[in-house]
Every structure is written in C-alpha cells, then in structure tokens.
Amino acid sequence: MMNVEAPVKILIVDDHPLVRDGLRSRLSCRPDWEVCGEAEVPAEALQKIRDEEPAVVIVDLSLKSGNGLELIKQIAALPHPPRMLVCSMHDENLYAQRAVQAGALGFLHKQQAAEQIIPAIQKVLEGKLFVSEQIMERVLSRMIKDPEESIKNPIETLTDRELQVFESIGKGLTINQIAAALFLSNKTVETYRERTKRKLNLRTAAELMRYAVKWVMDQGAG
C-alpha cells in the first residue's frame, strides 16, 4: 500500500473572520496543506498549537486581546515551536524586523496576501526568511552602516513595549485598559508612556494622544 503523507497543518491567528475566511480559501488550492484551526486571541492560539501541532502559524499583529509580537515571543519559547509568518496591515518598515527578532520567519502585508501567501508559506516551511526586497536591503544596509544613521522615523526608536503602549493610546485605550491588555501595572504603563513621549519629543500627554491617534489612522491597523 502506498504511504500518503499527512498534509502540512497551518493555523491562522487573526481577529477578523473575513480575513481568516480569505486565507483559508486561498490555501485550499493546495491539497497538501490543511488549515487545522483558527484563533482570535493569544490564549486560544497557544492552546490550538498544543492540540494541533501545526507546522506553520500565520499571525496578525493586532488581536482582540493581547499583542501579536508578544504572542510570537511566547510561541518561539515553546519546546517545539512551529514556524511563523506575520500577515498584517502594519507598516513593514516598522514591524518586519521586530517580528523576525521576536521569532517569526516572515512578514507579509495583507494587501499582498492574495498573490504572495503561497510562496511566503513555502519559503517559511523551508526555514527561509520571507520579507520584501526593500526590507532585506534595509536590514543589510543597517548591518553595514551605523544602525542609528539609518533610523529616520523616531517611532523606530521605540522598544516593542513602548510601541505597544503607543499604539494602544492611539486606539483610545485608557491606562487601566492598556495595563489589563498587556498584563502590566498602571505604573509600568505610565513609565512606558513617559519614555515614549520623550523619544518622540512631545511635551504633554495630549500631544502624545494626538500623535498616536494620527499614526494609528495612517497605519490602518486593526
């Protein structure tokens, strides 16, 4: 009897049902791949990874609760982590390198997902990095030059946590809500807020709020 290889399992982590449906439909063209599950929040994603043992996890950076970057770090810390591909509306210039440093193998903007999701997953399955040519050139440039010289956007100077707090402020969350979502104390969130304000050369909390709201709107994040 011929041995039939089991399909490659893929888990989709995204809080938009239409996005999950679109990805599942696109991946259905590969009979050797199987979407083994979907998740909207980090806790659900981690449980499904334990239950299903997918080979690849497609992760959005904005989730109903929690944060995609933190989820990637949690997945990477598992004993036998799956390979991860970020599929997000966030700015690749700002997030691709952060996602890879957190443990992902690729970053794909949602606007390119219909055309690029198949080759992106193929590359990730091979253990290879998938990012745009622009990002690859940028990373190589930073390796050759002084990293500080190539940073033109002050938001790039924020740490992952500072960026998470900044984005949450832009989405209208209060200090209490941010603390609960990121599992931090109110005092810690306020510390991150103050550091962010200094790095962005903003004087008041109101200026930070306006800056963050505009940035979130420009990102189209969600």
- Positive or negative, the CA dihedral 71, 76, 80, 82 is positive
| Cβ neighbours for 190, distance < 8 A, ≥ 6 positions apart | 175
Q: How far apart are the first and last CA of the chain?
A: 49
Gyration radius of the chain's alpha carbons: 18
Q: pLDDT at residue 67 above 50?
A: yes
Is 94:155 a contact under the CB 8 Å cutoff? yes
Q: Which of the two residues, 93 and 128, has the higher pLDDT score? A: 128
Q: What are 137's two structure tokens?
A: 């050139």
Question: Does 1 score more than 50 pLDDT?
Answer: no
Query: Do strands 56-59 and 83-88 pair parallel, antiparallel, or not at all (unpaired)?
Result: parallel
State pLDDT tens for residues 159-182: 999 999 999 999 899 999 999 888
pLDDT band at 97 (very low <50, low <70, confident <90, very high): confident
Would you state the pLDDT for residue 217?
83
Beta strand spans in 48-160 (E): 56-59, 83-88, 106-109
pLDDT at 92 over 80: yes
Collect all residues with Cβ–Cβ distance below 8 Å to 100 and sequence separation of at least 6.
106, 107, 129, 131
pLDDT at 183 over 90: no
Q: Where are the domains of the chain?
A: 8-140, 153-219
Q: What is the mean pLDDT of the chain?
A: 88
User: In the CATH scheme, what is the homologous superfamily, with its name and number, of domain 8-140?
Assistant: Response regulator (3.40.50.2300)
Q: What is the pLDDT of residue 55?
A: 97
How large is the average pLDDT for residues 141-157? 65
Residue 8 has pLDDT above 50, yes or no: yes
> For residues 98 and 69, what is the distance between their CA atoms, to the nearest angstrom?
8
Give me the pLDDT at residue 219, please.
Answer: 72
Global pTM value: 0.80
Distance between CA atoms of residues 202 and 198, nearest Å:
6
What three-state secondary structure class fits 138?
helix
Of the CATH numbers 3.10.310.30, 1.20.1600.10, 1.10.645.10, 1.10.10.10, which one belongs to the domain with range 153-219?
1.10.10.10
Is the pLDDT at 142 greater than 80, yes or no?
no
* C-beta of residue 42 within 8 angstroms of C-beta of residue 65: yes
Distance CA 161, CA 192 (A): 7
Banded pLDDT at 153 (limits 50, 70, 90): confident
